[in-house]
Amino acid sequence: MSKQDTHFFNIFSVVIGLLVAVALVLLALARNIGDNTQVTETYADKAYLKGADERTQPLVRVAVAGQDNSALVIKGLAQTTQIKLEIPKDGPALYEAVCKTCHATGLAGAPKTGDKTVWAPRLAQGKATLYEHAIKGYTGKSGAMPAKGGRTDLSDELIQAGVDYLIAQVK
Ligand code: HEC
């Protein structure tokens, strides 16, 4: 290697070294400025904190039998998945909304609405038994009548009104 080349390499190394040093200084400076401005602002940002809170909620919560587990309720989820079923106002409305599904066609062995032959022996049991079977559910020879037709959220009185309506259809 000629003397000139050696000289060039020496200068070149120094220049590269200086550039690296400047880059490191800029990097440190940028981080320092960021820490004092952006980061503090981010951590004070309500939307950011709320989002982080939501994302870090546990996916699974274990309820322990015999303990108060109300704190485990996943609120956002409960709100969106809770379906509010309409409450029918009287017997006929209840029939339309709930009982009809099975009793109009005799689905799943349900005694068909208005069919005297299938209802006669049932009516013979007396109203009280029919009320009880409709409210508490009943499994007989032809199938299973679910408690309150599956609408256990409804009052006993309303179910009785539904039974009255069913009985009134038998002619
Ligand atoms: C999922 C289908 C289904 C729905 C919905 C349903 N029932 Fe029934 N119901 C049945 C079946 C099946 C039986 C017959 C059970 C048996 O005797 O084997 C029955 C029987 C009955 C009986 C006669 C019980 C007896 O002792 O003979 C009454 C009364 C009755 N249902 C009332 C109602 C009323 C009121 C509603 C609406 C609130 C309703 N059902 C909704 C399936 C249903």
- Residues 149 and 98 sit within 8 Å (Cβ to Cβ): yes
Selection from 155, 159, 158 nearest residue 130 by Cα = 159
Note the pLDDT of residue 1: 66
* pTM score above 0.85: no
Cα–Cα distance for residue pair 107/93, rounded to 1 Å: 19
Probe residue for ligand 1, chosen from 102, 139, 152, 160 as the CB with the greatest number of ligand atoms within 8 Å: 102
Comparing C-alpha atoms, which of 101, 82, 90, 108 is closest to residue 164? 90
Ligand 1 midpoint to CA 81 (Å) = 28
Whose C-alpha lies nearest to ligand 1, atom 17?
140
Ligand 1 mean position to 168 CA, how many Å? 15
pLDDT given at position 86:
87
| Cα(167)–Cα(122) distance, integer angstroms | 10
CA of 143 to the centre of ligand 1 (A): 9
Q: Measure Cα distances from 37 to 4, 30, 48 in Å.
A: 50, 11, 15
Cα–ligand 1 centroid distance for 88 (angstroms)? 17
Return d(Cα 123, Cα 125) in angstroms, integer: 5
Q: What is the pLDDT of residue 151?
A: 92
Q: What is the pLDDT along the chain (171 residues), one digit of tens a residue?
A: 688 899 999 999 999 999 999 999 999 999 999 988 888 888 888 899 899 888 888 777 788 888 888 777 766 655 555 667 889 999 999 999 999 999 999 998 999 999 999 999 999 999 999 999 999 999 999 999 999 999 999 999 999 999 999 999 997
Can you say whether residue 162 is alpha, beta or left, with left for phi > 0 and alpha for psi between -120 and 50 degrees? alpha
What count of residues does the chain have? 171
Per-residue pLDDT, 78:
52
